[in-house]
Amino acid sequence: MTGWKTILPYNHAKTGFPLTGKHRSANCMGCHSGQRWQGLSQQCIGCHARDDVHKGSRGTNCSTCHNPADWKSASFNHNRDTSFPLLGQHAGTACAGCHGANNAIRKPQKTCITCHAKDDAHKGERGTACANCHTPRNWKDVKFDHTKETRFPLLGAHAAASCASCHGADRSIKKPPMTCIGCHQKDDSHKGRNGTDCEKCHNNKDWKNTEFDHDKMTNFPLQGAHKVALCEACHKQPTEVELPPVACVGCHADDDAHSKRLGDKCDSCHNAVAWKDKVLFDHDLTRFPLTGKHAPLTCEKCHADKSFQSKGITCQSCHIDEHHAGSLGAAPACAKCHNVNNWKLWSFNHDTETGFALTGKHKGLICSACHKKGKEPKNESSECGDCHQRDDVHDGNFGTNCARCHTTDNFTEIIM
């Protein structure tokens, strides 16, 4: 009543629309134009449609992002209120970066390729699931786990290799070969002679660090001089084409001084340390054991031509009979008298070995006194007259059995 134009304090909250923020200082006619006091919309869009830069593309619930304190201060929580959390560089990207100018794109696609097709250095060859490798933090920050995502774990030096080293500079090789030789053929110093299973010897830590154990992984342990031999010295062809022979003669036929006359069991005498070093052969296992003065003789003493073929096992095979000069036969059985300890230590017992015991004056005679050159001893006569014909004063009138009257002690002694 004091004045018509003086407005009494009015509790606008009783209307169901409390005045907060900039609404508190707004003029009544700002909302109630034309003195319209009832039926007004309580939605933001009812008054702020002309302020909607989204042009209705975000709906009419402006309070989801905006607040009465300041129209331009948006409080929309993209992580909470959508199914696409803004992570990494997405968090600092302007809305228009995905939603376009004036937010024309209400619901952008959620796949990486939709926005980043122009950034795809693979040109679509790796598919559209960019998130398998890349992260929102940095497009070049790759998180692809080659070990889990492929059948080729990156181990050793492979872990530090660049993608381009296997997939090509332009990523043109989608599925590189998984065999060593597929990428490292130019590194094969064996030139294919040892096959293509490089991992049998080499490892992915260092190409030159080999781990192949020839002793355990093959049936031919490397011993002696074989240990330092080059692989290609034996492996002339790839292992899958041809395996080297395991017999000595397979590689050392040209070194056989015996010209194959002793067979191919080289390891019976030779060893892997050195071909000529410590040759072992047990001559006692042959038909001619080396005893006495034969034992210290060198092989060449009897086997001059290295054929090591037997010349014979009789004494006369090596020893010419210079003493008897053939008086004991063309092929005398030397061993009946002589032995290997000393040629002069002979011990023939004429009494037991023959049918003619040496008694009397016969005991002191030399062999050649009775055994004439060129006549076999077994053919010698035991009759007295055959040797003493010139001593027979009877001129053969009493026969040739002189022993009936005479003795071997003295020819003049008569026992008749």
User: 57-75: per-residue pLDDT in tens?
Assistant: 777 888 878 888 887 777 7
Query: Quick check: 378 pLDDT over 80?
Result: no
Distance separating alpha carbons of residues 318 and 371, to the nearest angstrom: 23
Residue 292 has pLDDT above 90, yes or no: yes
Mapped onto helix, strand or coil, the DSSP state of residue 139 is strand
Do residues 235 and 244 touch, judged by C-beta distance below 8 A?
yes
CA distance 43 to 33: 16
At residue 6 the predicted structure's pLDDT band, cuts being 50, 70 and 90, is: confident
CB 166 within 8 A of CB 203: no
pLDDT at 291: 93
The model's pTM is 0.40
DSSP type of residue 353: H
* Confidence at 18, pLDDT banded by 50, 70, 90: very high
Length of the chain (residues): 416
Q: Tell me how far apart the alpha carbons of residues 244 and 308 are, in angstroms, rounded to a whole number.
A: 29
The helix (H) or strand (E) run that includes residue 182 is helix 180-184
232 vs 30: CA distance, rounded Å: 98
CA–CA dist 91, 135 (Å, integer) = 13
Average pLDDT, stretch 295-307?
82
> Residue 412 has what pLDDT?
84
Q: In the predicted model, is pLDDT for residue 308 greater than 80?
A: no
Distances (CA, A) of 71 to 27, 53, 303: 17, 11, 118
Token readout for 413 is 């002694």
Determine the 3-state secondary structure of 147 from DSSP: helix
Domain regions of the chain by residue span: 109-178, 187-243, 245-297, 314-380, 382-416
Looking at the predicted structure, is the pLDDT value of residue 141 above 80?
no
Q: What is the DSSP letter of 67?
A: B
Q: Copy the structure tokens of residue 343.
A: 């040629």
